[in-house]
Structure 1
Amino acid sequence: MNLKRWMTLFWKTLLAGSIAAIVAGVLLQFGSGIIKFKGPADYLFYLVILFGYGLMVSVYSQLGFFAYMILNYTAIGVFPKKVWQYIQLVLAVLALLEVMFFRSFVGKENSQISDLVVGISILVVAIVVAYFKAKATNPTAWIPTIFFMTAITIVELVGGLKIGVNNATVFILVPLIVCNAYQILILHKVLNAKKS
């Protein structure tokens, strides 16, 4: 990867995160109506805030993506390929179990249903993204994509889970998932990898 390709990935991921944040923010606003707008200027200001928030979340997502790339590169050098795949699978399952029961058992809060919905949503999106990634590249992409879309997304989401508000969790999760999915799906094109 050269600097030009990385900058293209960077800017497109920023755009994806901003669009996802605007869509999530507008849908949450119309669904719950938590903010009372006084005029058109308030609507415009709200959209600007959503756009900026999307930029921030996309940068956070990119940090997680490059952390995963470094982890993957290091682990491939340390473990045999099959062992690293099993480790990723186990870590993905553990991350899903943690998010599904995080606030209910550790935090002593009654949010088990919302945590299950978040965990199942992440898993479903991970499976869909892994399917398209494997179809675009090769079948060995399944486990790394599942790991990235579950474990890394959940690590990035932990701060949002600690807030303890369902709307805040959704507001953080949607741009994160969109950015992570975009980055993992486009990576082989950025690197000019040929289909195996």
Structure 2
Amino acid sequence: MNLRKWFFLFWTALLIGAAGSLVTGLIMMLVNGERTNGIIDFLLYLLILFGSGVMISVYSQMGFFAYLILNYMGKGVFPKRGWQIVQLVLTVLALLDVMFLRLFVGGGRERLSDIVLGIIILAAAIVTAYVKVKKTHISAMVPTLFFMIAVTVVETIGVLRIDVNAATTFIVVPLLACNAYQMLILHKLVDGSAEQAVSGRTEQA
């Protein structure tokens, strides 16, 4: 990946994060029946949503490049099949963690929102993995599921500690959009040899 392609990924991911934040924020405002005090307040609200989406996108990109480094190191430590098994195990643990951990830690409190969050992340991961496999190769399925589930869960730990459903929704939706976009466009930005080095796939980009 050269500098020009990296800039393309950076700015397009920023736009996706901003758009996702704007759409999510406006929908939440309509659903909650909230109103702003005039056009100035509304424009300021849009500006805040835009800025928040940009920051979420940057956070997503940090996680994405951290994953690429982790993937590279994992393939150097484990055999190919072993690294896939490790990713699957970590993916399942991360999903169970976000869905049920606070249920047990919270002393039996009902945590339906956590289960719904886990289902949403799982559904987004399955759709992204399906599209990725269709565009590349079946070997892309495990890395995509790992990134979309395990890495997304790690990225949402901070907002989960706040324990406010609206805040979680506002962060997770644009975060999933940015993560899915980066994973789906990766093979278009790197050549065949780099793709093999990054994700272990055998096909040409």
Provide closer, same or farther for how the CA distance between residues 72 and 168 of structure 1 changes in structure 2, counting only shifts above 3 A. same
Structure 1 gaps of 5+ residues are none
Match of 1:134 in 2: 133
Q: With the length of structure 1 as denominator, give the TM-score of the two structures.
A: 0.95
The answer to whether the 8 Å contact 1:103/1:111 transfers is no
Q: How far apart are 1:107 and its partner, in Å?
A: 4.0
The answer to whether the 8 Å contact 1:89/1:143 transfers is yes
Provide closer, same or farther for how the CA distance between residues 169 and 189 of structure 1 changes in structure 2, counting only shifts above 3 A. same
Q: How far apart are 1:195 and its partner, in Å?
A: 4.5
Q: For the residues of structure 2 that align with 1:7 and 1:95, how far apart are their CA atoms?
A: 31
Match of 1:18 in 2: 18
Q: How far apart are 1:144 and its partner, in Å?
A: 0.4
Corresponding residue pairs, total: 195
Q: For the residues of structure 2 that align with 1:172 and 1:104, how far apart are their CA atoms?
A: 21
SS in structure 1 opposite 2:41?
helix
Cα displacement string for residues 4-46 of structure 1 (whole angstroms, at most 9, x for unaligned residues): 111110000000000000000001111113x541101111110
Q: For the residues of structure 2 that align with 1:2 and 1:113, how far apart are their CA atoms?
A: 45
Cα displacement string for residues 87-123 of structure 1 (whole angstroms, at most 9, x for unaligned residues): 0000000000000013222244735110000001100
SS in structure 1 opposite 2:85?
helix
The answer to whether the 8 Å contact 2:29/2:35 transfers is no
Match of 2:196 in 1: none
Q: For the residues of structure 1 that align with 2:110 and 2:7, how far apart are their CA atoms?
A: 40
Cα displacement string for residues 101-156 of structure 1 (whole angstroms, at most 9, x for unaligned residues): 13222244735110000001100110010000011010000000000000000000
Match of 1:78 in 2: 77
Match of 1:87 in 2: 86
1:24-103 alignment to 2 at 5 Å? 24-33=24-33, 35-103=34-102
Could you tell me the percent identity over the aligned residues?
55
Q: For the residues of structure 2 that align with 1:111 and 1:44, how far apart are their CA atoms?
A: 38
Q: For the residues of structure 2 that align with 1:9 and 1:157, how far apart are their CA atoms?
A: 22
Q: For the residues of structure 2 that align with 1:110 and 1:127, how far apart are their CA atoms?
A: 29
Q: For the residues of structure 2 that align with 1:124 and 1:141, how far apart are their CA atoms?
A: 17
SS in structure 1 opposite 2:156?
helix
Letter aligned with residue 14 of structure 2: L
Q: CA RMSD in A?
A: 1.4
Q: With the length of structure 2 as denominator, give the TM-score of the two structures.
A: 0.91
